[in-house]
C-alpha cells in the first residue's frame, strides 16, 4: 500500500540559500515520487539522505528524534528546515501505524518506549536488549502493518543474518499494507525485490538499478578480489 506518493519542494529556486540548500542533492529537488511499497535512499556519507528522510518523517507527523506519532519528546533540535518547504502528497489511503527510526537516536526512542508505552507491545524493555535485539523486537512486536515506516540506516545495529531477517519482516509488513522509505548503505537491504532505489549525489536524486549501485558492485568486487584490493589499498598480506 502506498500512503505517500510524492513529495514536492515548494520553495522557489531563488530562496534556496542556506542549509540544507548547501547540499548539492537538495538544492535542485523539486519532486520525488514514491511508486513502490519499498523505496531506498542511498548515497555517500554526507550526500543528504538523513536530511531528506527526516524532512519527510517530520512532515508525516513523526518526532524528528524518531519514534511513533504518539511520542512527543525532543532532546535536540538537530533537524534541518527542509521540512518547512516540502509538501507530502498522500494517497486516499490512511496509514494506521507508523514509525520513524533514526539509528543515532534509537536510545532516545527506547527511553520513550520505556516511559510512555506499555512494554508488552515491544516484548519488554528495549533497554534490556542489545542494540540489534531492540531493533528486531521493534520490527516484530511493535510494527504490525497498515503502517508508514521510515528508517535511517536501520542496518547499523544488525548482523548479516539479522539483515536477512529484516528483509523477511519487510515482506510480511508489505503484505500487510505497509510502505517503507529507508535510507541505507546495506547492499543486502537494498536487494529487496521490486523496490525503487534513489541514489542521492551531486547530480541530484535519481533512480538506479540494484546491480548498478556502488554498494552492490563494490561489495561484489571486494569479495571476489579481496587480496588484490587489499594490496591496492597498500595493505599487504
Ligand atoms: N545542522 C546542520 N547545519 C549545516 N550542515 C549540516 C547540518 N546537518 C548536516 N549538515 C550537512 O549536510 C550534509 C548532508 O548530511 P546528511 O546527514 O543528510 O548526510 P547523509 O547522506 O545522511 O550521510 P550519512 O551516510 O553519513 O548518514 C552534510 O555535508 C552535513 O555536514
Ligand atoms: Mg545519514
220: CB partners within 8 A, 6+ apart: none
Query: Using a 6 Å cutoff on CB, does residue 64 contact ligand 1?
Result: no
- Pair 197, 190: CB distance under 8 Å: yes
- Which residues make Cβ contacts (< 8 Å) with residue 1, sequence separation at least 6? 37, 93, 95, 146, 177, 178, 179
Domain boundaries, the chain: 4-208
Joined together, the cell numbers standing for residue 83 give 521540512
Q: pTM here?
A: 0.90
Omega before residue 20 within 30° of 0, cis: yes
Q: What pLDDT does 113 receive?
A: 61
Choose which CATH entry (3.10.180.10, 3.20.20.70, 1.10.10.10, 3.40.50.300) describes domain 4-208.
3.40.50.300
Q: Which atom of ligand 1 is nearest to the CA of 51?
A: 18
153's CB contacts (< 8 A; 6+ apart) are 103, 183, 184, 185
Q: Return the H-helix or E-strand segment holding 115.
A: helix 106-116
Per-residue pLDDT tens listing for the chain (237 residues): 999 999 999 999 898 988 899 999 999 999 999 999 999 999 999 999 999 999 999 999 887 666 665 555 454 455 678 888 999 999 999 999 999 988 766 656 666 566 555 555 666 666 677 788 888 888 998 899 999 999 999 998 899 999 999 999 999 999 999 999 999 999 999 999 999 999 999 999 999 999 999 999 999 999 999 999 999 999 976
Rounded to the nearest 5 degrees, what angle is found at the Cα of 186, between the Cα atoms of 172 and 98?
40
In whole angstroms, give the CA distance from residue 11 to residue 83: 11
Mutate to test the pocket of ligand 1, among 16, 18, 19 (most ligand atoms within 8 A of CB): 19
CB 202 less than 6 A from any atom of ligand 1:
no
What is the predicted pLDDT for the residue at 138? 86
Q: State residue 135's pLDDT score.
A: 85
152 CA → ligand 2 middle, Å: 7
Whole-angstrom Cα distance, residue 234 to residue 100? 41
Amino acid at each position: 500500500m502506498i500512503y505517500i506518493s510524492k513529495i514536492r519542494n515548494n520553495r522557489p529556486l531563488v530562496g534556496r540559500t542556506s542549509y540544507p540548500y548547501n547540499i548539492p542533492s537538495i538544492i535542485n529537488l523539486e519532486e520525488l515520487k514514491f511508486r513502490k511499497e519499498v523505496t531506498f535512499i542511498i548515497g555517500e556519507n554526507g550526500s543528504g539522505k538523513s536530511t531528506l528522510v527526516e524532512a519527510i518523517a517530520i512532515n508525516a507527523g513523526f518526532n524528528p528524534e524518531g519514534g511513533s506519532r504518539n511520542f512527543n519528546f525532543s532532546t535536540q533540535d538537530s533537524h534541518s528546515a527542509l521540512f518547512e518547504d516540502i509538501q507530502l502528497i498522500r494517497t486516499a489511503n490512511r496509514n494506521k501505524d507508523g514509525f520513524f527510526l533514526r539509528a543515532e537516536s534509537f536510545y532516545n526512542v527506547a527511553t520513550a518506549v520505556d516511559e510512555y508505552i506499555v512494554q508488552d507491545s515491544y516484548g519488554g524493555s528495549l533497554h534490556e536488549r542489545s542494540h540489534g535485539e531492540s531493533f528486531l523486537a521493534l520490527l516484530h512486536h511493535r510494527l504490525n502493518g497498515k503502517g508508514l515506516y521510515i528508517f535511517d540506516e536501520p542496518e547499523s545495529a544488525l548482523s548479516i543474518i539479522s539483515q536477512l531477517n529484516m528483509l523477511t519482516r519487510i515482506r510480511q509488513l508489505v503484505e500487510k499494507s505497509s510502505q517503507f522509505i529507508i535510507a541505507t548503505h546495506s547492499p543486502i537491504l537494498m536487494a529487496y525485490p521490486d523496490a525503487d532505489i534513489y541514489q542521492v549525489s551531486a547530480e541530484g536524486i535519481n533512480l538506479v538499478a540494484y546491480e548498478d549501485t556502488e554498494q552492490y558492485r563494490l561489495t561484489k568486487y571486494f569479495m571476489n578480489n579481496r587480496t588484490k584490493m587489499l594490496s591496492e589499498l597498500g595493505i599487504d598480506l
